[in-house]
Amino acid sequence: MRNSILLFLLITSCLFGNAQTRPDVFIDSLIRIMTVEEKVGQMSQIDLGVIATGEPCKLKNPQEIDLEKLHLAITKYKIGSVLNVGCGSGTISIENWHKIIGLIQKENTALSRLNIPIIYGIDAVHGVNYTMGGTLFPQQIGQAATWNPDLVEQINAITAYETRASAIPWNFSPVLDLGRQPLWSRFSETYGEDVFLAKAMTKSAITGMQGEDIGSPFKVAACMKHFLGYSMPLSGKDRSPAWIAERELREYFLPTFQQAIISGAKTVMINSGEINGTPVHANYDILTKLLRNELGFKGVAITDWEDIYKLTDLHRVASNRKEAVKMAIMAGIDMSMTPNDLVFNDLLIELVKEGAVPMNRIDQAVSRILTLKKELGLFNKTQYPIATYPEFGSKQHAEISYKAACESLTLLKNNNKALPIENKKEKIFVCGPAANSLNFLNGSWTHTWQGIDTTCNTKNKLTILQALQINFGKEHITFLPGCSTDSLIDLASCLELAKKADKIILCLGEKPGTELPGNIDDLSLSPAQVKLAAALSSLHKPVILVCSFGRPRIIRDVVKGAEAVLYAYLPGDEGGRAIADCISGIVNPSGKLPFTYPGAVNELVHYDHKTMEELATDFSMNGYNPEFDFGYGLSFTSFTYSPMKINKATITGSESIEVSVTVTNNGTRTGKEVVQLYYQDLFASITPSVKKLTEFRKIELMPHESKQVTFVLTAENFSFIGKDCQRITEPGEIELQLSNQKKLIYVR
């Protein structure tokens, strides 16, 4: 029977065009002969644990398929998608990935009526973090700190290559939520607080991951996460309510998704929370009117983990799960990440047969899903031999990770030229919870969901301590942790070793965590780490502070006692080597903060704040007092800027102006500088920010070398969302700000 169906589809496809070039004809023909059960199966995504040996969250290790469970999922539920490594499980070898996914596809071919390929998805968040030996990069916040979009494109191209090498064609990445709530546990997964910078990184991420053809064996379908407003919960707690006015939603949180759609992103994952009292998974205005009708997104909209059920269980807007399924599907959801059972299928089939969900809505969702599978080439080939990917986990890929870690490192303080340490014979005492841990360098989504299992760490990767021992010699390095994130550890012995050292390197960090387990009560650094830092600074030895944080923890008092502060974010597997090379002077830091670093727990004011926010308690304009400002970062060399030049002072209509400056490296070291152009709209119908980033470029300069940087600006560079929630550019005075220079131009 199946051969006859396939022959019919082939003839239909040939009559109306090649199946590759005319997927609409092929897919329309396929949908016409699918049963409601087969269609609903395509709309359901289950976790590997549902079809693997063992209980869903207690799988056999290494993971393997339970054929009886798989056959049930294929024959009864016609399942269309699988994700993850199994709840509570960890990294899988590339060989086992091919075995698992190959068996799923083989059994699907043998048992299903129509042989529609099953699509596998994974969270390859900062590299292919669920495949053993894969390349791990800095988390997205560190990637943003590089201010290097070309490098971010390379990172995502490698991630795509190694994800596809694992037989997985769909990556639930990148996170496009704007990082404006630093309490949020997923802050490290964002590209920072600024719209312009995040848009630039978004474009690079989508381009690198998808390329020009996602059917290539080296590319994957990207998934923009999490539409929309997920990163701004009022309380800072994951999945808790957000209150965002429509104008602010469009000004700050929508542009990255708009950019991703323009760049061709194929799929989108939906915000698990609620905005202004309505769960996004049930919000037709956001999922259909905005995403589809206004933005023109054509791809697949998938839920996050079990979020349709949460409309009943947690959001309480549906009285039962059947009603929840109806609400989500009619709002615009195409695929349900169920993920631990198959109840969704039964409920949606009932709804269709009762007429509560129309068949045209089902066909619409299924068409999008089948189109994705077709564009990925899965109807022709579901996976390629491991030998197709000789660069998987290669030294070349590791070097790109190392470069990204190096370029992300942000030097925030360097009194008395404490860094670099060029005397390799100095005695150095190393301490702190992040000093000898790969987990603190990688953070969550590393081999396991929370990233805390040390047994899964990549072999032969260096911690900060190990890399320092190589650079300076073990005989010059002493080490004691001094504390964990929670408690002091033999402080007396720690201080005795510190007294004998010439320099102290204090490596602070935060316990890896994301989503609900990663929630914190405030941004304060843990008391144990503060006490250790205070005890060390009392010795009056030069303290070099290294911070491995996924979000800005409050370090004001710690910074005061340190000669140098190196902010490392979560730099990945090559982070230890990069940090040690920076400390020893092999690497010149060039990272710039992609967020405003607060000086106090509740001092959460962004760089693009309003003038009124600068009022201090004494009514002076000194109220904006972050620990470090957005875009800030020092170098081991020094740069000077020539006077800023503009080719004309007025922009009219579609005209453009050129802004240029010459940058010179005045030092003796090669260095990279980020040229940042800001502006202020002096007067506007919506209160203008004191400054907003409008262009940037990262350049490398040899000692005493000069380069000219030119930016071309149009009126669009100064646009904003007006009172009617439409993007506008108003005529008036614009103040350009570059380094410490300002110039007025006029928009007519």
Task: Out of 2.40.50.1070, 1.25.40.10, 3.40.50.300, 3.40.50.1700, select the CATH number for domain 395-614.
Answer: 3.40.50.1700
Q: Which of 698, 432, 694 is nearest to 589 (CA)?
A: 698
Asked if the bond preceding 136 is cis, omega within 30° of 0, the reply is no
304 is catalytic: yes
Q: How many whole angstroms from its chain centre is CA 263? A: 17
For residue range 134-153, list pLDDT tens digits in order.
999 999 999 999 999 999 99
What average pLDDT does range 193-211 have in this prediction? 98
For residue range 10-37, list pLDDT tens digits in order.
455 544 444 444 448 999 999 999 999 9
pLDDT at 579 over 80: yes
Q: Are strands 645-646 and 650-651 parallel, antiparallel or unpaired?
A: unpaired
What average pLDDT does range 636-665 have in this prediction? 97
Q: Using CA atoms, how far apart are residues 221 and 119, in angstroms rounded to an integer?
A: 11
For residue range 61-108, list pLDDT tens digits in order.
999 999 999 999 999 999 999 999 998 899 999 999 999 999 999 999
pLDDT at 9 over 80: no
For residue range 259-277, list pLDDT tens digits in order.
999 999 999 999 999 999 9
Looking at per-residue pLDDT, the higher value among 55 and 377 belongs to 377
| Distance, first Cα to last Cα, the chain | 69
pLDDT at 396 over 50: yes
Token pair 């700050």 is found at: 252
Looking at per-residue pLDDT, the higher value among 15 and 421 belongs to 421
List beta partners, residue 411. 566, 634
CATH 3.40.50.300 fits 639-747, yes or no: no
Q: CB–CB of 528/376 below 8 Å?
A: no
Put simply, whether the predicted model's pTM sits higher than 0.75 gets the answer yes
What are residue 440's phi and psi, to 5 degrees? -70, -20
- Can you give the pLDDT at residue 87? 86
pLDDT at 347 over 60: yes
Q: How many whole angstroms from its chain centre is CA 731? A: 36
- Can you give the pLDDT at residue 88? 81
- Can you give the pLDDT at residue 56? 78
Residue type, 110: A
When pLDDT is cut at 50, 70 and 90, the band that residue 604 belongs to is very high
When pLDDT is cut at 50, 70 and 90, the band that residue 250 belongs to is very high
Q: Using CA atoms, how far apart are residues 704 and 664, in angstroms rounded to an integer?
A: 6
Residue type, 672: K
pLDDT at 2 over 70: no
- Can you give the pLDDT at residue 24? 83
- Can you give the pLDDT at residue 333? 98
Q: Using CA atoms, how far apart are residues 748 and 730, in angstroms rounded to an integer?
A: 8
Task: Sort 454 into a burial class: Cβ within 10 Å, 0-12 / 13-18 / 19+.
Answer: exposed
Token pair 């940058």 is found at: 663
Quote the percentage of the chain above a pLDDT of 90: 96
For 511, 595, 687, the CA distances from 135, given in Å and listed in that order, are 22, 26, 45
When pLDDT is cut at 50, 70 and 90, the band that residue 472 belongs to is very high
Q: Where are the domains of the chain?
A: 395-614, 639-747
For residue range 538-569, list pLDDT tens digits in order.
999 999 999 999 999 999 999 999 999 999 99
Mean of the per-residue pLDDT values for the chain?
96
| Cβ partners under 8 Å of residue 687, min gap 6 | 610, 611, 612
Per-residue tokens: 174: 């990148």
Catalytic residue among 47, 123, 238, 304: 304
How many C-beta neighbours within 10 Å does residue 212 have? 9
- Can you give the pLDDT at residue 55? 87
- Can you give the pLDDT at residue 18? 46
